[in-house]
Amino acid sequence: MTDAPSSTPPTVAVIGAGPAGLMAAERLASAGLRVVVHERMPSVARKFLMAGRGGLNLTHSEPLQPFLHRYDAPARARISGWLDAFSPADLIAWAEGLRQETFVGSSGRVFPQAMKASPLLRAWLARLEGLGVEFRTRSRWTGWKDGALSFDTPEGERLEQPDAVVLALGGASWAKLGSDAAWVPGLEEAGAAVAPFRPSNVGFDVAWSPLLRDRFAGQPLKGVAVTHAGRTVRGEAMIAAYGIEGGAVYALSADLRDAIERDGSAELTLDLRPDLSRPALTQKLLKPRGKDSLSNWLRKIVHLDPAAIALLREGGPLPTEPCPLAARIKGVSLTLTGVQGLARAISSAGGVALDAVDARLMLKSRPGVFVAGEMLDWEAPTGGYLLQASFASGVTAADGVINWLRRP
């Protein structure tokens, strides 16, 4: 990178217009720097808009310590520093500063009142325009050439020499929206260690019976508890034609994926009525069935829907005695035999190793080049944790650029 004349503001190139890149651009422009955002797609923040279709879960309202423990242990200490720079409270205040009021859902998740990304993005882009941020879409970064950044554009190759760079190119999930990890060879050539990408927040393969697969694929399992290796998460799961997915499963996906990679399979246990203890459930099942079929009786007595009852039958004929039937309802065992790939994953694990960047998120092998967002090697479940860390890493990288440019 070059030293800009003192009479003009330094120029920073932000490559990638997702949440991390746009947040870095805002922070840099607010500090008086000239910011040029490059985006390979025809429009910005496509993955952000896709995430907003499900309600745009911005962050979570839980206290900081349990919040931090949602992130994978190797990255936790680093992410703690990012959250010091931009906390969940800061993110909420930022959204409301864009006139996007937020609310806390029953699960503790934080959403904008509009429950979608487009109003927030429009207000955000208007703010960035007001700050003088320049956007160049269809501008694909291809690496360095003769000390300059090289971009493939509709007009041909373009070379630029900014004073600093923020790379926010995403991970390896949702390639059709721009996160295809095509940047990996260039970063490795620049001396940065990059961990292989693996699917995260992803579904798992289960060998369903044809009846369950054909009749119940796409059906939710609401209010369940899922357990693996002694860790239990309550939430919602979803029966898929290939197996099982959903928020509760995603929260365990890193451990499940690692177990399958290590052992060839993983065991997942579902409690279909976690709000009832086994003795209380057994007591309910002591009530006479009368002329009801077993399925109708279970629906009436313990409020199991047809999908849950079909799942109970996957383990063989249903017991008729209350105690073993309660045990089955409280512990449906599934054998997961495979992991869905990156193409179906919500996010990815892997990326630029955290020890390849300093505390400011600057590449140790390439001074003046900073990295943010899912390009870095960290992992978190859905629930607001992914977006929160992406935003916070963008702030951290931008602050690092500002401090680096002010060096003697």
First to last CA, the chain: 15
Beta-bridge mates of residue 38 = 15, 136
395 is written with which tokens? 């702030």
243 is written with which tokens? 């197996």
Torsional sign, CA 69, 75, 78, 82: negative
pLDDT at position 407, please? 86
pLDDT at position 6, please? 56
pLDDT at position 315, please? 87
pLDDT tens, N- to C-terminus, the chain (408 residues): 555 445 689 999 999 999 999 999 999 999 999 999 999 999 999 989 987 777 899 999 999 999 999 999 999 999 999 999 999 999 999 999 999 999 999 889 999 999 999 999 999 999 999 999 999 999 999 999 999 999 999 999 999 999 999 999 999 988 888 888 999 999 999 999 999 999 999 999 999 999 999 999 999 999 999 999 999 999 999 999 999 999 999 999 999 999 999 999 999 999 999 999 999 999 999 999 888 899 999 999 999 999 999 999 998 999 989 999 999 999 999 999 999 999 999 999 999 999 999 999 999 999 999 999 999 999 999 999 999 999 999 999 999 999 999 987
d(CA 336, CA 202): 12
- Number of residues that this document lists for the chain: 408
Tell me the CATH architecture of domain 11-198+347-405.
3-Layer(bba) Sandwich (3.50)
Q: For the chain, give every domain's residue range.
A: 11-198+347-405, 204-339
DSSP labels, 7-33 = TS--EEEEE--SHHHHHHHHHHHHTT-
Q: What is the DSSP secondary structure assignment for residue 177, as one 8-state letter?
A: G
- Given its phi and psi angles, is residue 9 left (phi above 0), alpha (psi -120 to 50 degrees) or beta? beta
* pTM listed for this prediction: 0.92
pLDDT at position 1, please? 55
d(CA 371, CA 270): 39
How many secondary structure helices (H) and strands (E) does the chain include?
A: 15, 20
How far, in Å, are 137, 279, 282, 303, 316 from residue 286 at the CA level?
66, 11, 6, 15, 21
Strands 220-228 and 102-104: unpaired
pLDDT at position 77, please? 96
d(CA 268, CA 298): 23
pLDDT at position 138, please? 97
Residues 6+ apart with CB under 8 A from 361: 370, 371, 372, 376, 393, 396, 397, 400
> Would you tell me how many other CB atoms lie within 10 Å of the CB of residue 175?
14
Sole residue written with tokens 């007591």: 283
**SS3 of residue 223 by DSSP:** strand
pLDDT at position 47, please? 87
DSSP labels, 132-152 = T-EEEES-EEEEEETTEEEEE
